[in-house]
Structure 1
Amino acid sequence: MQFVKQISKGIIILLILVGGTLGAQSNKQKQLETRRQELRREIQKINALRTENKTKEKSQLSLIEDFNYKISVLNNLIKVTNQQANLLTRAINNNQKQIGSLRDELKLLKDDYAAMIVKSYKSKNQQSRIMFLLSSNNFKQAYKRLQYMKQYTSHQKEQGETIKAKTAKLQQINKDLLVQKGDKQKLVAENKATQKTLEKERAQHRSIMATIKKDLNTYTAQIKSKQREAAKIDREIARIVRAEIAKSNKKINSSGSSSFALTAEEKLLATNFVANKGKLPWPVAKGFVKSRYGKQPSLIDRSLTVQRNGVLITTEKSAKARVIFNGTVIKVTAIRNSNPMVMIKHGNYITVYKNLSKVYVNEGDTLKTKDIIGEVSTNVEGDTILSFSIFKDAQTQNPASWIYKM
């Protein structure tokens, strides 16, 4: 009996340790499932926008950008789904270990319980409980024998209850195991379907790239031309930002600084802006990042580097651009050969919303988070793309660090 108790304690400790591991796995599984659903929604948005623009004749450069982005999302989806499947495999293995441990413990408990029942039966046959008590040498011995009989009966009952509990736990673990196996099979099936979609996208990507490579010089020239136009716009925005810094410093007779001189109210606004880093809303209600911040090799010619001071967000037709935080409109302008843009100041931070077809605000307007700024322009190829940037004083920032789940 003592041996069984020791075994039970050891298995209980094992189950506690396994339970802790399963808890950590459960949290990780939830995080992965959240990410998987985000990627699935991203693919749905891409497909919806493709359907919306399927009648438009797109350039090869635009098509390559579209295919490249969808391929990257599909790759991420496959990676996350694989991680989920692997995590479930570990969970299934842990469950099987628990089942093995519980079965061993259950066998020991049943054997011990059976031995007690046999002993109890024999005891009843050999002599009655009363005779057992009356045969005591003295009152103290009789009292001890009475206590022994009570404890023995109680222990029998405990053993029976323990067996019932362990049996129920074993049945529940078996049910969980079946659910986990089913979940894993679904993930594996989904990954196979995603792999097929990925191969189709890659085949179309290769076909377009083969066409482009036949006349690579022409496409490279187009990329360089677009980059020069973007650089020109970026220089003009930088000039406007520096002018705004100079204007703000002039008010308090401070010159030569590359940072905004802030009033107490503006300092508070900037502090609140920073406090919301990573939680700020998207500048459009629906969309995905088509091109990210910073330097990246060209998708067409890897010898070329494309520099972006912000992000390009593909959105739906007639989408409204909205301010990401409380602020004041400091500039509404249209640089030559480009659509209108709006610049909004949040303390010593500035957000820039480019490529608008309509503007609903004026310089000096005070805006609240998610107020509508204007409508995003749709190009001849059917793409509706907002160019969005963030500055801290005169330095560009990566919008992905500031916008929620960008």
Structure 2
Amino acid sequence: MWLAVPAAAQQRSKKQPTKSTKAKPRTAARTARPKSKAQLERERLANLRQIQQTSQALNQTQEKKKVSLGQLHVITEKLTVKKQVIQGISTQLQGIETNVHQTAKQVLQTQQTLSELKAEYARLLYTASKTASGFNQLMFLFAADSFNQFALRLRYIRQYTEERQRQAARIMGAQYRLHEQLTGLTQQQQRKSRLLSSQLNENKNLLTLKSKEDEMVQQLSQQEQGLRQELEEHRRSVVRLDNLIAERVREEIARAARAARLAAKREAALAAARTARAAAARRAAAPSPRREPDAPASANAAESDNATAAPESDAPETAAEAAADRRAVRVALTPETALLSSSFAGNRGRLPWPVGRGFISQRFGRHPHPVLKNVTVENRGVDIQTGAGEAVRACFDGKVLTIANIAGMNTIVMIQHGDFFTVYAKLRSVNVHEGQRVSAREVIGTVATDGEGTSEVQFQVWHNSANLNPESWLGHR
């Protein structure tokens, strides 16, 4: 009988860890890992900054009091960001709903545990009340038949008292956990309520923006003739820019091929001269009975000097050589330019944006016209809409290859990075000159603003003669 309470305590102590350490199914490990609260908050702040920037761009274009494609691009971008904000709120609501469900389950478990602890504590108190007086406890001790039984009964009384104290502490701990869980549940429900209200407001704003976009599309559709004329002018300017880029790339490939060929010729001539000097030195050192006294060793030196003074590389370029240079399809790289090209390629997806703020208003490749039906437009790069007078920066170290003015594209700057080229079009002013070495993030000019109040820069990336998608090269904002 005296071991009944300790045995029950031991049995409960074995059961309790089993509840807390019960294995849970690892289905979450097989699915996509949910975003953390900090990551969702970073995305929310980034979306808010993007909305602020698009609002500034919209105010700039609306100053002209005329609906334009630039305004439509801003509204479309705001719609995209708003959808991302609403999606982020939905993700947070799903997370809160999961947490609320788990917390409610924990509350029920804690309440059940607390009820069991209180019931067991009541049994302990009832049993203790029978021997509450010190006299009863002494009678229980001195009624022992032997000293060993006396020691065991004394140990039983101590364990019984300690168990009651531990049980009281468990009850207090369970009550504290229950209070914490209920408080957390209330906070989560309040946060859920705030997010639902925010989601409702964002949905209303989304509907307003969608209506505004539809209205702009309808107004622009009434200007179909002007839009088609504007599109044709833009196509002509794009063709002029493409021709300029292709011509400059071909010229650079041919120039690099000629430089590599001449360097190879010079190296071959120098090698031949070294071989001639070595042969002359061997002949001078070898004994010869018929050697003329008036044939000094300087004659051999003069012969080798003639070999290096007028190497074959200094000869005029032949038509075949020039044709071979023009047939080259890749930039011949020196060790220095090869290192630069490799470094540029290694930074794919991490290049800085050419402007400090803005958004991509027109993406790379072929896509339908935002207003004109059955009309497809093609973009060789990306158009980044930004603020008026925004500084345009080089995205990587390189050499300014070309600066030119093209109708419809304003001033363009083309920078070479080994066998890669980046193009910055629609600039109002330029701060660099051809042949200048520039570093990453160095300001090369400022963005131009068109007659409709739209300020945007076009950014292109080329690898030799291949046109690449700049979005896969630019880093995250």
Please point out which of 341, 355, 368 is paired with 1:270: 341
Distance 1:120 1:279 in 2: 73
Counterpart in the other structure of 2:441:
370
1:342 aligns with 2:350: no
Report the AA paired with residue 433 of structure 2.
N
Counterpart in the other structure of 1:252:
260
Counterpart in the other structure of 2:119:
111
Q: Give the SS at the match of 1:303.
A: coil
Instruction: Compute the displacement of 1:359 (Å).
Output: 0.6
Instruction: Compute the displacement of 1:80 (Å).
Output: 2.2
Q: Give the SS at the match of 1:328.
A: strand
Q: Give the SS at the match of 1:283.
A: coil
1:165 aligns with 2:173: yes
| Post-superposition CA distance 1:189-224 (Å, at most 9, x none) | 222222222222222222232334445455345334
Distance 2:82 2:405 in 1: 37
Task: Report if aligned partners of 1:357, 1:375 keep a CA contact under 8 Å in 2.
Answer: yes
Task: Report if aligned partners of 1:323, 1:373 keep a CA contact under 8 Å in 2.
Answer: yes
Counterpart in the other structure of 1:61:
69
Which deviates further from its counterpart, 184-193 or 306-315? 184-193
Mapping for residues 95-110 of structure 1, pairs under 5 Å: 95-110=103-118
Counterpart in the other structure of 2:460:
389
Distance 1:145 1:302 in 2: 97
Please point out which of 219, 225, 249 is paired with 2:227: 219
Change in Cα spacing, 1:189 to 1:210, as seen in structure 2 (3 Å) is same
| Post-superposition CA distance 1:204-254 (Å, at most 9, x none) | 222232334445455345334423432432342233234323333433239
Task: Report if aligned partners of 2:240, 2:406 keep a CA contact under 8 Å in 1.
Answer: no
Instruction: Compute the displacement of 1:15 (Å).
Output: 9.8
Q: Give the SS at the match of 2:410.
A: coil
1:206 aligns with 2:206: no
Which deviates further from its counterpart, 168-177 or 144-153? 144-153
Change in Cα spacing, 1:125 to 1:26, as seen in structure 2 (3 Å) is farther
1:180 aligns with 2:221: no
Counterpart in the other structure of 1:122:
130
TM-score (norm 2): 0.75
* Gaps in structure 1 of 5+ consecutive residues: none
Distance 2:431 2:405 in 1: 14
Report the AA paired with residue 391 of structure 1.
W
Change in Cα spacing, 1:39 to 1:144, as seen in structure 2 (3 Å) is same
1:361 aligns with 2:432: yes
Change in Cα spacing, 1:250 to 1:203, as seen in structure 2 (3 Å) is same
CA RMSD for the aligned pairs?
3.0
| Post-superposition CA distance 1:11-66 (Å, at most 9, x none) | 31359889x99xx9884333223222211211111112222343214454333333
Counterpart in the other structure of 2:4:
none
Counterpart in the other structure of 2:88:
80
Distance 1:100 1:343 in 2: 68
Distance 1:25 1:121 in 2: 55
Please point out which of 354, 359, 364 is paired with 1:288: 359
Q: Give the SS at the match of 1:353.
A: strand
Identity of aligned residues (%): 27
Mapping for residues 305-320 of structure 1, pairs under 5 Å: 305-320=376-391
| Post-superposition CA distance 1:55-88 (Å, at most 9, x none) | 2144543333332222222222222222222222
Task: Report if aligned partners of 1:327, 1:346 keep a CA contact under 8 Å in 2.
Answer: yes
1:405 aligns with 2:476: yes
Please point out which of 348, 355, 371 is paired with 1:300: 371
Aligned length: 403
Counterpart in the other structure of 1:40:
48
Change in Cα spacing, 1:164 to 1:251, as seen in structure 2 (3 Å) is farther
Report the AA paired with residue 38 of structure 1.
A
Task: Report if aligned partners of 1:8, 1:105 keep a CA contact under 8 Å in 2.
Answer: no
Q: Give the SS at the match of 1:329.
A: strand
Counterpart in the other structure of 1:197:
205
Task: Report if aligned partners of 1:33, 1:84 keep a CA contact under 8 Å in 2.
Answer: no
TM-score (norm 1): 0.87
* Gaps in structure 2 of 5+ consecutive residues: 1-7, 262-323
Instruction: Compute the displacement of 1:125 (Å).
Output: 4.5
Which deviates further from its counterpart, 75-84 or 51-60? 51-60
Report the AA paired with residue 41 of structure 2.
E
Instruction: Compute the displacement of 1:91 (Å).
Output: 1.8
Q: Give the SS at the match of 1:403.
A: coil
Task: Report if aligned partners of 1:352, 1:389 keep a CA contact under 8 Å in 2.
Answer: yes
Change in Cα spacing, 1:290 to 1:5, as seen in structure 2 (3 Å) is same
Which deviates further from its counterpart, 254-263 or 237-246? 254-263
Counterpart in the other structure of 1:8:
16
Q: Give the SS at the match of 1:50.
A: helix
Change in Cα spacing, 1:213 to 1:329, as seen in structure 2 (3 Å) is closer
Task: Report if aligned partners of 2:233, 2:408 keep a CA contact under 8 Å in 1.
Answer: no
Distance 1:396 1:50 in 2: 31
Report the AA paired with residue 328 of structure 1.
K
Distance 2:331 2:152 in 1: 89
Task: Report if aligned partners of 2:67, 2:220 keep a CA contact under 8 Å in 1.
Answer: no
Distance 1:187 1:156 in 2: 46
Larger Rg: 2
Distance 1:348 1:313 in 2: 24
Task: Report if aligned partners of 1:11, 1:105 keep a CA contact under 8 Å in 2.
Answer: no
Counterpart in the other structure of 2:297:
none
Instruction: Compute the displacement of 1:109 (Å).
Output: 2.0
Which deviates further from its counterpart, 31-40 or 310-319? 31-40
